[in-house]
Amino acid sequence: VLEEISGKVMKRISKLEFIRNLSASAMKKMEKIVVKPIPEKMKVAKLSPYQLSAELSAINGRQYAGDMYYEGEILNISVYPTNTSGITIENLKIPNLFGGKFELSKVATVIREFKPIEINHRDTHKVALITMDVEGVSLSEAQKKIEREVSKLDLPKGYSIEVKGQTLEMVRTMKDLGFALLLGIVLMYMIMAAEFESLIQPFVIMLTVPMGLIGVSLALWLAGMDVTVVAMVGIITLAGIVVNNGIVMVDYINQLRRRGMKKEDAIIEGAATRLRPVLMTSLTTIIALLPDLILKGEGREMHVPMALVVIGGLTAATFLTLFFEPVFYSILDRFSRRKWDERSVIE
């Protein structure tokens, strides 16, 4: 039954254009030869089961024959069969102790069977494994299309199909990366809270991260790509990049206010003055990543998602930061009771 189901699954998913190197464990078979001695005929031929077994072992490979001493060393002696091409096991001549020879088919029953090379089990149940390589699409997209195809099959009662393999590992990795992103955001907030001596201003800066995620979502949607492990690594990288623009702007506004400038005037002056540095920093990063996005070559599947995520997120975060961060600063500063001093976070 497993072989039949495997054949149906392979026939259906082989039509998908991104499938490569498709194989199934239930379809991989090797010939198994079973020799059952016939006691009555063995007795007439004066053959023992041991002789029969030894002869079959010899024809199947080397046989240990003894040791010899040569120049103080012990050498193992093994006997190999001669060229047996053209000889089938049924007409193999089996010698007895009295010099006679008998065809194997005369003294034993030879049964040829084709058995699976490997038998896999999971939770005491037999399973058939179908493996393949995916080319040109992400694992998550490939999984969706494969599940859509196999769901159309009518399976016997008690049988089911699960799509796992690297996709299962990918889900686990995505969870770990999601936790890493959350942990990174918390740590960045704690560090900035200590540097700015405020809980409000780091929050204003951290708002650049969701602004970047807007650009990430739009870039992936336009490219028709899913959030993969590589894209998730790019998002973590992006989170560390976009906060720099916010830090530069907020710190400069703070410097202006320490010099006696009113809040509204400091916000306008700070945003206008830091416009060029913020744009230049973001632009150099984007230009540096363009080759990974455009050029084709080995490893492109790894480079493109990360470059796309960083470029899309940084572009959106840069422009949204220039417009919305001064607004957030003005609104949330009302809840801050910080006493201004002469120290600056960034010299």
Report residue 9 as tokens.
């699954």
Tokens of 202: 């780091």
CATH code for 31-116?
3.30.2090.10
Structure confidence at residue 201 (pLDDT): 86
| Through-space distance between the first and last CA atoms of the chain, rounded to whole angstroms | 73
Of 173, 284, 301, 306, nearest in space to 236 by CA:
306
4-9's contacts with Cβ under 8 Å and 24+ in sequence apart are 5/128, 5/153, 5/155, 5/156, 5/159, 5/161, 6/128, 6/130, 8/153, 9/130, 9/150, 9/153, 9/161
pLDDT of residue 291: 85
What would the DSSP string read from start to end of 198-214? -SHHHHHHHTHHHHHHH
Same fold? 31-116, 167-335: no
Q: Which fold is adopted by the domain 167-335?
A: Multidrug efflux transporter AcrB transmembrane fold (1.20.1640)
Left, alpha or beta for 158 (phi > 0: left; psi -120 to 50: alpha)?
left
- Give the phi and the psi of residue 185 in degrees, each rounded to 5: -65, -45
**3-class SS string, 25-51:** HHHCEEEEEEEEECHHHHHHCCCCHHH
- Distance from C-alpha of 235 to C-alpha of 34, rounded to nearest angstrom: 60
DSSP characters for 166-189? HHHHHHHHHHHHHHHHHHHHHHHH
Q: Are the CB atoms for 207 and 328 separated by under 8 Å?
A: yes
Q: What is the pLDDT along the chain (347 residues), one digit of tens a residue?
A: 677 787 777 777 777 877 788 777 766 677 778 888 888 888 888 888 887 877 777 666 666 677 888 777 888 777 666 655 556 777 777 777 777 788 888 888 888 877 776 666 676 777 777 777 777 776 777 777 877 877 777 777 877 777 776 666 777 788 888 898 899 889 988 998 888 888 888 888 888 888 889 999 998 888 888 787 888 888 888 888 888 888 888 888 888 888 888 888 888 888 888 888 888 888 988 888 888 888 776 666 677 888 889 999 999 988 888 888 888 888 888 777 655 444 444 43
Give me the pLDDT at residue 344, please: 42
Q: How far apart are CA 310 and CA 300, in angstroms?
A: 15
Q: Say what the pLDDT of residue 177 is.
A: 86
Q: Where are the domains of the chain?
A: 1-28+119-162, 31-116, 167-335
> Cα(251)–Cα(239) distance, rounded to whole angstroms?
19
The partner residues of 31 in beta bridges, in order of sequence, read: 114
